Structure 1
Amino acid sequence: MPSLQYILPIINVIVIINAVAAVITVFRDRRDIAATWAWLLVLIMIPVAGFVAYAFLGRKLPKNRLFRLKKETQIRLEQMIQRQRDELGSELMPADAVTSSVRGMVSLFLNSDGALLSRKNRVKIFTDGHEKFHAMFQDIEAAKKHIHIEYYTFYNDRIGNELLHLLERKAAEGVDVRVLYDPWGSMGTFRSFFKHLEELGGHARPFLGAHSAILDFRLNFRDHRKIVVTDGRVGYVGGFNVGDQYLGRDKKFGYWRDTHLRIVGSGVFELQERFIRDWNATDAEHRIEPSAEMFPVIKVKGNTSLQIVSSGPDNDGQQIKMGYIKMIMTAQQRLWIQSPYLIPDDSVLDAIRIAAMSGVDVRIMVPDKPDHAFVYRATQYYASELAEAGVKIYYYNNGFIHAKTMVIDGQVASVGSANMDFRSFKLNFEVNAFLYDTDLAKELETVFLRDQDLSSLVTVQDFKDQSFWLKFKQTFSRLLSPIL
């Protein structure tokens, strides 16, 4: 048996090599300070296993893929948009044509994301998966020209197969069907799942050409968007994915509470454009060439003004996060937030604190059960911090709440795919609708109050009464929050 005098030097050498490798690994890519220190902590404190975790969570998106996305981002489909602007006139307006209360927000998105302000849209809110999929299936069934679908999760299960068979039938009718899905979010769904759809003339592609989660084992930089556009006239955006659990069929989660929008009007243009850019960055061989048919002139009698805003790691602007901060700082009376994850960075955390300490009625609703252990404990940590600042924290008790909504003063709201966490702010590709409509905002407030009746208020004392072990898990998870 080797003596201790030989073992200790070997251990010291391994520790030194591990530390050097950790520094080289972390600093070779540009990242913010919080994420840098978090990764150093993981790599140094958990040798070997830490590098395995880094392979899944820490690696950057390859530069060639980022270039493809940036290149497509420059294609703003200006001719189509200008045509709409010319024919719709006042229905697409610049920031100075709206009321002063939202002018700054409209300008923010115009300047940071080129997001047009679209007026006179008809928007319907869905909070139940059965109702959402029923309406979406009807719109897909009615499509005559094209169907564009982009989801983080497209599972090979009951609802996934129902949607696939519907798409196959539409493709057989000659409708141009295209599906983008994220291979990690759609774990278990392989290219062969869409084989018959492609035989019928449809197209299905994993986002940015990753063939499977196994070959592209990267948890970061996922396509977390949820977009459906039919004939350029009807669009869907929100939090629901395609899977049985989103219909409450998974015993682990129970009833699934989410929020999704159906949009009819010129607001669909930006959803259509977003899908085209993502598709063309993914499949250059079967590019979509924008045509007037994809951007029809839509005149509806609606009351909702909105902007579709997207963000992702191909752009350092963090547009959706900036929109959240703008909303938080704009709130005068009420700021109500629903999110399955509450892991804000310092800028968002400070904005929420300032709002609460300024007398704004700040309420945040999160699930009362985890779907990811570390993420849930980090959520509890930040919930306790915000409770101390005067924020009312609610745990949703009627299943699992997955909605990503924010509403202020019954005037402005946001609904989309972006959670209140680091991952949605910086690491994933997201899309949100920012809504300027008092009736719609008040409807979302009513939804919040209905959910509040099914939730429990967690007080500062409740957090203080938690066990030492639970507090330790929350604090440890918080240290990893920049990389969760």
Structure 2
Amino acid sequence: MNVVFQQIVYALVALTVLSVVLVIISENRNPVKSVAWILLLIFLPLLGLIAYFLIGQDFTKKYAYKRKKHRGKDQAFLIKSDQVLDEQEYPRAFTAPVKLLKNIQNALLIGGNDVKYFTLAADKYRQMLADMEEAKRFIHLEYYALENGLWGDALKDLLIRKSARGVEVRIIYDDWGCWRTKKSYFKELIDNGVQVRVFSKVRILPLTARLNYRDHRKLIIIDGLIGYIGGMNISDRYVNGFNWGCWADTHCRIAGPGVVQLQSVFLSNWQRQSGEVLWEDEYFPLPASCGDNALQVVASGPGSLDPEILHVMIQAFYSAEKYIYVQTPYFIPPEPLAGALQAAAIRGLDVRLMISKRSDLPLVQMASRSYIREMLERGIKVYFYTRGFLHSKMMVVDGELSIMGSANADMRSFEDNLEVQAFIYGRSAALRAQEIFLEYQQDCEKINLERWKKRSRLKRFVESFMRLFAPLL
């Protein structure tokens, strides 16, 4: 009887696996991702089935419908700004990425912005709170992780106080990213007049693929005059670090006409989450020029027709003439991105890749390290940050373009998550970003190709095996 029962169970599992494989094939996904899922289902059928039903189902068409419903309104109002630059004013070396962004997302190039970078979370939090204290009309936040603690509680108290004084406060937070946050944290905000929306609430039954598509953005907009974008969430661990090292990250504060683009990204998502339409002129003031940097902001998500952030990064790398510096916590690049970096190194550019020697996600780290050898063989300089965990997502090109936002250099950021990235054209901002990169480099171990080749065969095999599942990590 037990043998018969086992055979029935095996047959049901096999039939379920076959059905799921047929569904994956019929969805016409990215072939690399489809193959990864099929391999997981074949090698580890039970684990594969559980993982597929948790995070593998493709709900992007449903999300795309919602996005399409609101698309087109996002940046149409930008034509009003007298800081919108025409083609004659585009940065010469980066005309191609500027035009690409304008065509795929109507992201106009807006000049007159002041940009300030932060490498210490405490400095960012202090400046953020000081700017919010001066808010007169509205404060908008969109965060993957917004946690209670010293800084999270200070933010909560300030937002409650500003709301009581008539300032409109709106928050979008990611349910999965805020799993550490007590529910009472958001309840207290709501009870005191703050408008709060949760992105893609995670439910036990059904779990569906909501775990897979997350709002990974870290955005603040204050009165339409000041904005924040970068890699730092709101959490004490960004200040305190780990018992084995610091948390190394970057974020930037933008003041000037370009903030309107950050506001556009937030209000587009707010409309999807709440149904509230806020496209009146009062939410889009036209700040005076206060700096010498031009910028474009690009948002992407699972409903995007194209991986916009990926496309523009690749175009920027192919436009580079001198150097490309990349910081990312997770390096699992799609082939076109890896190819763009390798091609730049082959044609003689100084290409540097900085990742963390120790990661908070060991499986991702193993897959990431499978790419190191091919980067080194093409002449890319690879650095492992050793003082702690490097979470920065900053890139610098030729001392003229700096790229800052929430997207990691991995497939999840380019295809699955809601992300936002600022492409900042200006020598002052880019040179400061370059300084930051070189400061971090002092705490790095430079990887030598010959020594890297001599690592144990088992370690190299495990990394290569994990690479097979890189699209799922």
Q: 1:366·1:394 contact (CA, 8 Å) conserved in 2?
A: yes
* 2:38 alignment counterpart: 40
* 1:81 alignment counterpart: 78
Which residue, out of 444, 463, 470, partners 2:433?
Answer: 444
* 2:105 alignment counterpart: 113
* 2:310 alignment counterpart: 321
One-letter amino acid of the structure 2 residue matched with residue 430 of structure 1: E
* 2:257 alignment counterpart: 266
* 1:103 alignment counterpart: 95
Q: 2:94·2:316 contact (CA, 8 Å) conserved in 1?
A: no
* 2:387 alignment counterpart: 398
C-alpha displacement of 1:212: 5.7
Give CA deviations for 1:231-286 in whole Å, capped at 9, x if unaligned.
1110000110111111134325x3111111101111100100110000010011xx
C-alpha distance 211-344 of structure 1, shift in aligned 2 (>3 A): closer
* 2:282 alignment counterpart: 293
What TM-score comes out, normalization by structure 2 length? 0.95
User: What are the ranges of 5 or more consecutive residues in structure 2 without an aligned counterpart?
Assistant: none
* 2:404 alignment counterpart: 415
* 1:280 alignment counterpart: 271
Cα RMSD for the two superposed structures: 2.1
Alignment partners' CA distance in 1, 2:71 and 2:112: 27
C-alpha displacement of 1:13: 3.2
Alignment pair present for 1:251 and 2:240? no
Alignment partners' CA distance in 1, 2:434 and 2:226: 25
C-alpha displacement of 1:216: 4.8
* 1:31 alignment counterpart: 29
Number of aligned positions between the proteins = 472
C-alpha displacement of 1:198: 1.7
Which residue, out of 443, 468, 473, partners 1:479?
Answer: 468
* 1:128 alignment counterpart: 120
C-alpha distance 159-459 of structure 1, shift in aligned 2 (>3 A): same
Q: 2:255·2:290 contact (CA, 8 Å) conserved in 1?
A: no
Give CA deviations for 1:88-142 in whole Å, capped at 9, x if unaligned.
2xx1123343232121111010001111111011111111101111110111111
Alignment partners' CA distance in 1, 2:240 and 2:50: 34
Which residue, out of 208, 217, 224, partners 1:225?
Answer: 217
Alignment partners' CA distance in 2, 1:446 and 1:43: 46
Alignment pair present for 1:165 and 2:154? no
Q: 1:183·1:212 contact (CA, 8 Å) conserved in 2?
A: no
* 1:237 alignment counterpart: 229
C-alpha distance 15-279 of structure 1, shift in aligned 2 (>3 A): closer
One-letter amino acid of the structure 2 residue matched with residue 235 of structure 1: G
Alignment of 1:11-22 (within 5 A): 13-14=11-12, 16-22=14-20
Alignment partners' CA distance in 1, 2:283 and 2:300: 23
What TM-score comes out, normalization by structure 1 length? 0.92
C-alpha displacement of 1:447: 1.0
Alignment pair present for 1:302 and 2:294? no
Alignment partners' CA distance in 2, 1:309 and 1:62: 19
Percentage of pairs with the same residue: 35
Deviation above 4 Å: which 4+ runs of structure 1? 6-12, 211-217
Q: 2:356·2:385 contact (CA, 8 Å) conserved in 1?
A: yes
Alignment partners' CA distance in 2, 1:215 and 1:193: 25
One-letter amino acid of the structure 1 residue matched with residue 19 of structure 2: A
Q: 1:422·1:482 contact (CA, 8 Å) conserved in 2?
A: yes
C-alpha distance 110-2 of structure 1, shift in aligned 2 (>3 A): closer
Give CA deviations for 1:314-358 in whole Å, capped at 9, x if unaligned.
112111101110121112221110000110111111111111111
Alignment partners' CA distance in 2, 1:47 and 1:446: 49
Alignment partners' CA distance in 1, 2:15 and 2:426: 58
C-alpha distance 101-29 of structure 1, shift in aligned 2 (>3 A): same
C-alpha displacement of 1:291: 2.3
Alignment partners' CA distance in 1, 2:280 and 2:73: 14
Which residue, out of 144, 158, 161, partners 1:152?
Answer: 144
Alignment pair present for 1:354 and 2:343? yes
One-letter amino acid of the structure 1 residue matched with residue 18 of structure 2: V
C-alpha displacement of 1:42: 0.7
Q: 2:64·2:304 contact (CA, 8 Å) conserved in 1?
A: no
Alignment partners' CA distance in 2, 1:435 and 1:223: 22
C-alpha distance 181-215 of structure 1, shift in aligned 2 (>3 A): farther
Which residue, out of 354, 358, 371, partners 1:382?
Answer: 371
One-letter amino acid of the structure 1 residue matched with residue 52 of structure 2: Y
C-alpha distance 308-25 of structure 1, shift in aligned 2 (>3 A): same
Alignment partners' CA distance in 2, 1:11 and 1:234: 59
C-alpha displacement of 1:214: 7.9
Alignment partners' CA distance in 2, 1:417 and 1:447: 17
C-alpha displacement of 1:2: 6.0
Alignment partners' CA distance in 2, 1:274 and 1:102: 23
C-alpha displacement of 1:467: 1.7
Alignment of 1:143-222 (within 5 A): 143-189=135-181, 191-208=183-200, 210=201, 216=207, 218-222=210-214
Give CA deviations for 1:176-226 in whole Å, capped at 9, x if unaligned.
000001101111335542222222221111115x26688656332211111
Q: 1:238·1:416 contact (CA, 8 Å) conserved in 2?
A: yes
C-alpha distance 213-197 of structure 1, shift in aligned 2 (>3 A): farther
Q: 1:184·1:212 contact (CA, 8 Å) conserved in 2?
A: no
Q: What SS does the aligned partner of 1:293 have?
A: helix
Q: 2:78·2:108 contact (CA, 8 Å) conserved in 1?
A: no
C-alpha displacement of 1:400: 1.1
Q: 2:231·2:251 contact (CA, 8 Å) conserved in 1?
A: yes
Q: What SS does the aligned partner of 2:78 have?
A: helix
C-alpha distance 297-15 of structure 1, shift in aligned 2 (>3 A): closer
Alignment partners' CA distance in 2, 1:462 and 1:95: 48
C-alpha distance 20-214 of structure 1, shift in aligned 2 (>3 A): closer
Q: 1:171·1:202 contact (CA, 8 Å) conserved in 2?
A: yes
Alignment partners' CA distance in 1, 2:2 and 2:31: 42
